[in-house]
Structure 1
Amino acid sequence: MNALIVEDKAYIRKGLINLLETVETDVKIIGECGSVKEAVVVANACKPELVFLDINLTDGTGFDFLDQTEHLDFKTIFITAYEEYALKALKIGAVDYLLKPVDYDELQSALKKIKSLPVSTQKEQIQTAKKVWYQNDSTLVLSLSDSFQVIELQELLFCESDKGYTTFYLADGKKYVVSKPIKVYEEQLEKLNFTRPHQSFMVNLKFIDKYDKSGIIYLKDGKKIPVSSRKKEGFIATFLNYNSL
């Protein structure tokens, strides 16, 4: 099977390749990618039969990659850190996954199982996992440099994105920085009354004190959030609708 590895950490990719060389298998690695954008291009060009797919990537999620390559037929084995939200989705969907660091026996077992699984069946399983991943959950698990931090989304004031990093500002004054862009979290947050008035910000509607028509949001703690001209009309409609409920 021609396989593609989509994982943003080079040492994980290298470790997986080394393990595959020791496993008795016909898997041949035809490419390595570290982002959704790159992986979509490579997958369309190489038509892999199997993809080892990280869930959280630098510019999006593994589900984003699958959405953009749904016209291709390949099997998928997810690679994930021990993240509660990710594992819940994968287990409910009954989708094959490998925990980082990848274990030899688990890799061998996943490969054996995946070979007998029809692509159509797995796509159905992945759709189930995707729904769980994006369901309205009251918490979010942030992968920080040294830990996994659980935050209550109802206590999240706003998020600010800058050069691929996102900072989460909480009502109690705490803030956490993750090395992922804001769009990774956009769909889940929008379902919980967050709005994106600017490319770099997502704001919790319940913490907005007022909107100045000059294009500035004032939060209840005094912070100011800009509204871009392109998103102004959509933001005002969302803001007024929320406050009329």
Structure 2
Amino acid sequence: MIRAIIIDDEIQSRITLKNELSLLKVPFEIVAEANSVLTGVEKIDLFEPEMVFLDIHLGDGSGFDLIEKVKNRNFKIIFITAYNQYALQAFKVHALDYLLKPIVFADLKHAIDKAIHLSLNIQTNRIQYLLNDLNQKSNKISFSTTEGFTIHFIKDIIRCESDSNYCKIYFSNHEHIYLSKTLKQIEDQLINYGFERIHHSHLINMNHLLKYINKDGGEVIMSDGSKIPVSKRKKSELNLMLSKLAI
């Protein structure tokens, strides 16, 4: 039984969604409903759901406002929205599932199935990056070097490559720097800004990805022309992410 909360300021939309959920083979328990950011945060903190169906447009703010106010974001989210080109593009870019109103049963079933199988950590990272992108937060990063600190726009970082206990950072101006950090340490700093670990030695900025060649071992081509291998373990995850961007 999946404990869920529906947050939507339209009562008929909540009723319709509950009826649709009752037809699924996956059992849901709707532990609470809310119609605003304020009541939504209260219900989430009180009932600690496993999944939240979240409308983007609420009377006292947005679904994104709600996410930032919640104390513990340890639940899956399926976004719900009326047609909004900007919101839809944002969801596609960040590989997040969403439902368009009026909700189609087949789309609901598909979104729930994907949400169940997507790890909470991956979805949380993607949502955080979406929030950072929407709010235009923290667009710079500083790296400690032997000479002091070097400051860069995150959008200018193309990729990071592991070299033993060092890491090489490549930038869009064709410069690069060496850092005495592991790739995992760099990944922890950049994971919420559209970076994906596609190989144990490579972290890439998805905004600089130009092409994915899904044959042989699999590789990606970046905006600087570099070719980066994709590990077998990461191929299915990358395929899923890119399929959401396909037209």
TM-score bracket, normalised by the shorter chain, equals 0.5 to 0.7
| CA distances 1:119-152 after superposition (whole Å, capped 9, x unpaired) | 111011112222343359xxxxxxxxxxxxxxxx
Q: Distance in 1 between matches of 2:134 and 2:86?
A: 7
SS for the counterpart of 1:130 is helix
How many residues get paired? 136
Q: Distance in 2 between matches of 1:132 and 1:92?
A: 10
Task: Give the share of equivalent positions with the same residue, in percent.
Answer: 39
SS for the counterpart of 2:5 is strand
1:26 aligns to 2:27 (yes or no): yes
Following superposition of structure 1 onto structure 2, how do residues 34-183 of structure 1 map, counting pairs within 5 Å?
A: 34-135=35-136
Q: Which amino acid in structure 2 is aligned with residue 65 of structure 1? A: L
Change (3 A) 1:72 1:129: closer
Alignment partner, residue 11 of structure 1:
12
Q: Distance in 1 between matches of 2:91 and 2:133?
A: 8
Q: Distance in 1 between matches of 2:77 and 2:131?
A: 13
Q: Distance in 2 between matches of 1:66 and 1:93?
A: 16
CA RMSD of aligned residues (A): 1.5
Q: Which amino acid in structure 1 is aligned with residue 127 of structure 2? A: I
Following superposition of structure 1 onto structure 2, how do residues 181-200 of structure 1 map, counting pairs within 5 Å?
A: none
Deviation at 1:71, TM superposition (A): 1.9
Identify unmatched segments of 5+ residues in structure 1.
137-245
Q: Distance in 2 between matches of 1:23 and 1:12?
A: 17
TM-score by length of 2: 0.53
Q: Distance in 2 between matches of 1:115 and 1:93?
A: 18
Q: Which amino acid in structure 1 is aligned with residue 6 of structure 2? A: I
Q: Distance in 2 between matches of 1:132 and 1:99?
A: 22
Deviation at 1:68, TM superposition (A): 1.2
